[in-house]
Amino acid sequence: MADVGVDESLLKGVAERVAGEAAELVRDAWEGMNRGRVVRVDTKSADTDVVTAVDHESEQLVRARLAELRPGDAVLGEEGGGDAGDGVTWVVDPIDGTVNFLYGLPWFAVSVAAQVDGVSVAGAVVEPVSGRVWTAARGQGAWLDGRPLTTSAPERLDLTLVGTGFAYKVDRRLRQARFAAGLVGRVRDIRRNGAASLDLCAVGAGWLDAYVEHGLGRWDWAAGALVASEAGATVSLPGEDPALGPDATYAAASSIATPLREALIASGIGDV
């Protein structure tokens, strides 16, 4: 479907509402867990790649609410799968940062984005514990709790703070660690915060100057990358910049984007 007629503001409102309701469910489960309630945990691609009963419940809630509010739209969710549709497709990560969630580290979120032809047009990333709400609409901007976001503007590579992440598969994370070892001497420091959607939002807020990770799922970046780009970041999505490797997601404050990209390449990012 051509995206003529897409109402980004309306879709942003739906994303915010639905992600907010799921975040309440996740927050209640988190509080229950902190009081000793046991949460069922299964594994996926590796023993370290976990999915909890709360991930499934959150995604079910999002799907049920989207069916009411946006009947006929397609849904692609991390846990329940799905395919892109001809019109709007909702891309859902019911808990991004599940390992943090399990350990009691409050950096995790519900991420809901609306895409048309594979391009994000609106999204919301909601943090259950802090209640922070990150939103963006294509061409209109990005917001944290309703306040407009702009990226940082570092002038020097050696003063640039870079977020990243590691895959669950051991062979790939070892290659990522070799690349990170090459990068860490060229930049201010590296952060591995554990929730890709929020790391991308953090670039939008200037809490990170840049973020790069290989092998993200569409649900990891669909809302957060829109927040970063609408806040002014230079963003490249998986497959768009082969010099960064086949499936890198990259977001950087535009002031540093070109030298940082060169430093990533010099650090061996293409071999990850």
Give the binding site for ligand IPD (CB under 6 A): 93, 96-99, 165-166, 194-196, 213, 216, 220
Residue 24 · residue 10 · CB < 8 Å: no
- Name which of 50 and 84 has its Cβ closer to Ca ion: 50
Which CB atom, from 127 or from 220, has the smaller least distance to ligand IPD?
220
Cβ 55 to Ca ion shortest distance, Å: 6
Structure tokens at 33: 């867990």
* Nearest to ligand IPD of 6, 91 (CB atom): 91
- Is the Cβ of residue 176 or residue 234 nearer to ligand IPD in the bound state? 176
CA 23/CA 239 separation, integer angstroms = 31
Q: Work out what residue 264 binds among ligand IPD, Ca ion, none; the CB cut-off runs from 5 to 8 Å by kind.
A: none
Within 164-183, the residues that bind Ca ion by CB under 5 A are none
194 binds, among Ca ion, ligand IPD, none (CB under 5 to 8 A by kind): ligand IPD
Element (H, E) at 224: helix 224-230
Tell me which of Ca ion, ligand IPD, none is bound by residue 33, counting a contact when its beta carbon lies within the kind-specific cut-off of 5 to 8 angstroms: none
Q: Distance (Å, rounded) from C-alpha 95 to C-alpha 214?
A: 19
In terms of C-beta distances under 8 Å and separation of at least 24 residues, what long-range contacts does 55-58 make, across chains too?
A: 55/79, 55/94, 55/95, 55/98, 56/94, 57/25, 57/29, 57/94, 58/22, 58/25, 58/26, 58/94, 58/95, 58/110
What is the smallest separation between the CB atom of 1 and ligand IPD, expressed in angstroms? 28
For Ca ion, the closer CB: 96 or 209: 96
| Coil/strand/helix, residue 69 | helix
What is the binding site for Ca ion (CB under 5 A)? 78, 93, 96, 220
